[in-house]
Amino acid sequence: MRHRITDWDDAYANGPNIAGGERWPGLWIEPARMYRQAKLEAGQAKLDIPYGEAERNKLDLFLPTGQPRGLVVFVHGGFWLRLDRSYWSHFARGPVEAGFAVAMPSYTLCPDIRISGITAEVGAAIEKAAEMVEGSIRLIGHSAGGHLVTRMITTTSPLPQQVQVRVAHTVSLSGVHDLRPLMHTAMNAQLKIDRQEAWRESPALLEPMKGARLTCWVGATERSEFLRQNALLANLWKGLGAETEAVEEPDRHHFNILDGLTDPHHQLTETLLS
């Protein structure tokens, strides 16, 4: 069946195309606050850890009982334009209960920075978290965060070599891996993606670092562009030597795709930590 995208804004619009979609991201605020409070009271949270000089260059670290089995870094989404780490804290629960420390950074948002600058900030955040927690590292990011974590495991990664070699697995949740289509959207007035930056910052246009293991995970009911972007990177990188898998989780959309991370026994959490 022939298909051509004529409305790029609608192609990447999540909330308006989900029944009750206006509830997100506000639906996450209270569960995230309660999780932070509980972990603080248990002495298992370190908040507002600086990793750079910019105002938003801070991360939160949630710790398990006992010695961490390793480190998970969760990078939030919001199209590089919105939100911060405070919305997502409760999604650390699954990995933490499975014995992993979880770091959640914020980063400077567009238009105060270019996407290439965010890439550098996220690299610095991961490096800081890696200094604080020993062992292997898993990266996971949602939407724009999926772009950012996959960018970390390219041959032009900002991560230092001693951190790169510790990255055991990367999961992109509903990730955007080719930035070129976003040049056609209204939000590009703030993102300021041009062809040069798209080629420099799109994981789908880059090569995976040696030994990369990638899972691209998306909700089966998401917008067709997110389904396409999900399959795209897994397919391309498999042909470039990476170990890849593409998953479409049934009955999940762009927001509730994250819910599996609250359960240490959910397939998403178990896949991330495998």
Q: What is the pLDDT of residue 190?
A: 97
Which residue do the tokens 């070129």 mark?
A: 180
Q: Over the stretch 30-85, which tens digit does the pLDDT of each residue have? A: 999 999 999 999 999 999 999 999 999 999 999 999 999 999 999 999 999 999 99
| pTM of the full structure | 0.96
How would you classify the pairing of strands 137-142 and 101-105? unpaired
Q: What is the pLDDT of residue 1?
A: 67
Q: Which of 48, 17, 14, 26 is nearest to 173 (CA)?
A: 14
Architecture of the domain made up of 8-273: 3-Layer(aba) Sandwich (3.40)
CB atoms within 10 A of CB 270: 14
Q: Where are the domains of the chain?
A: 8-273
For residue 200, pLDDT over 70 is answered with: yes
Classify the phi-psi angles of 102: left when phi > 0, otherwise alpha if psi is within -120 to 50, otherwise beta.
Answer: beta
For residue 21, pLDDT over 80 is answered with: no
